[in-house]
Amino acid sequence: DRCEPDVFNPDNQRISACNDNPGYGLNPNQGRGAPEIDVLEGSGSLISSSLQIGPGMPDDYRTFPGEYYGCFYTASCQVKGANFIEVPTAYYQKERGHKSWYQGLRYAANNNCAPTADAKQDYDTIAASVKAGITENTCSVDTCPASTDVNGDLDTFGSSGNDHWGINRNGTCYPLINSYSGAYLCDPDNTFSKCAMPRNESTTPKSNAMSSFNYQMDAISANWPVHLAAYTEYVVYQLEWVTGSNGYARWMLNGAPLFEVPSKSIIDVPQNSNKTNPRKVMLEEPMYLIFNVALSSSWGATPPNAGKECRGNGTDATVNKICDAFPMYMKIDHIRLYQDLADDLEADNYMQLGCDPKSHPTKKWIDGHIDEYQDDDNQHKEVAGRAFCTKNDDCTIGGNLGKTALKTGKCVKSRCQCTYSSSWGGPRCIAGVMMLLSVGSVVLSTNKRNKDAMMMEKQAKPTTDLAMNDNSWDDVQLEQVAIG
């Protein structure tokens, strides 16, 4: 959200802080992006929690490249500094002279797992090892924090005073810093060498599909082991997200923290003498929720006999057992959204709801680029009512027109029903149809909570991808919860 052409080329950001007049109702000199929060995605017994943001860090702040791509996933790289960030410590310091990657990330145990004696750690031992510097090219339970992130926070947390971020005191399941740290994103016509698939100018003509761009996207992520109960009973997955310079994104399981990204980690990034590392802000874009089951081969899984009969010839007992388990389901008991409505929040704590807030306008931009938000199978459609409600005032624009009170909708069986659907639409019947007035909201439920946070709780059996679409109302139940 800064105009620093020497650090990041504004041509690679479609809505840049360097633009004094971006149009479409956007705020001048405000960089905009499309960040992502992954609450829940993974494979088998492993779940990944992550933020995806940009512009990312240059190569000089990332791990050194290994002898082949992917050796870092198993910490088997022989090249120095390729397995873990700032490991070995002295080597990184000698080669760079500055810190690397995001500092002060916080990790905590999943104590629902059974403890293992050889996984237990002692704070004094690990703190001393980190202070002295890691000398090997890899981490061990006696030298690195349990997260294998030597730049992670090691302060105490919780009421007992015995728990430290990054220290596996009980020897239970523990989050690891994700070896996947992002991707280099480019338009299809880009020929830049760092693009995942740079266009070959001699064999592939330009498509002119979109404006040219190339930039690094960072994934700040932790992979944490989940216990078997996630597949046999409901467990509570939570995300607490607070914007602003004192904010954070915190992932929790059954109320206990697992991973946290403080705003400070994103804002105060390491710098070399030329200050070439782009500074960013904590995620503050209006975002939507996606609840879906999606499968990907990116996690190394492939179905038995892909494209054919699942069991093949039926002679493989393991394959038969897998196929017997289908179909599989993700079961959601409830989804709850909380928001702090206190009047003493910090100025950059955007505790607001809606798709088009004044701090980050979106509607006119989307209306002006509607072809980019729809395809042949998913056409834009006008919505009239159906938002959740508790009273008629939740479903009307309110106010008066002359001496007549404006009642554009009413609450019927906890859902908004528009009184004049040809004139007033939107989920809450407050969007003018064929008029210049357009006010929208995607409120699910708002309640006061005693923390400066928006928390999403999700109870689910199997692990799945939950990135932040609101088109799954037939599959999930959204509840309003009264908080005292």
Cα angle, residue 454 at apex, residues 112 and 235 outer, rounded to 5°: 25
Cβ neighbors of 261 (< 8 A, separation 6 or more) are 51, 102, 105, 106, 220, 248, 249, 250
**How many angstroms separate the CA atoms of 355 and 454, rounded?**
15
Cβ pair 249, 49 in contact under 8 A = no
The dihedral over CA atoms of 223, 227, 233, 235, expressed in degrees to the nearest 10, equals -50
- Predicted local confidence at residue 447, as pLDDT: 37
- Predicted local confidence at residue 470, as pLDDT: 36
Dmax over Cα atoms in the chain, in whole Å?
79
pTM for this model (two decimals): 0.82
Cβ neighbors of 123 (< 8 A, separation 6 or more) are 154, 164, 167, 169
What element of type H or E holds 163? Answer: strand 163-164
Cβ neighbors of 266 (< 8 A, separation 6 or more) are 53, 102, 220, 280, 281, 282
Show the tokens assigned to 1: 């959200």
Domain coordinates of the chain in residue numbers? Answer: 1-32, 366-432
* C-alpha Rg value of the chain to the nearest Å: 25
DSSP 384: B
- Predicted local confidence at residue 454, as pLDDT: 42
| Owner of token pair 């088998």 | 44
What is the residue-level pLDDT of the chain in tens, covering all 484 positions? 789 999 999 999 999 999 999 999 999 999 999 999 998 888 778 899 999 999 999 999 999 999 999 999 999 999 999 999 999 999 999 999 999 999 999 999 999 999 999 999 999 999 999 999 999 999 999 999 999 999 999 999 998 889 999 999 999 999 999 999 999 999 999 999 999 899 999 999 999 989 899 999 999 999 999 998 888 999 999 999 999 999 999 999 999 999 999 999 999 999 999 999 999 999 999 998 888 887 777 777 788 998 899 999 999 999 999 999 988 888 899 999 888 888 888 989 988 878 899 999 999 999 999 999 998 999 988 889 999 999 999 999 876 555 567 889 999 999 999 998 778 898 999 887 543 333 333 322 333 333 344 444 444 444 333 333 333 333 333 233 322 2
- Predicted local confidence at residue 465, as pLDDT: 38
Cβ neighbors of 31 (< 8 A, separation 6 or more) are 1, 2, 3, 13, 15, 16, 17
Q: Which amino acid is at 311?
A: R
Nearest to 463 by CA among 230, 221, 259: 230
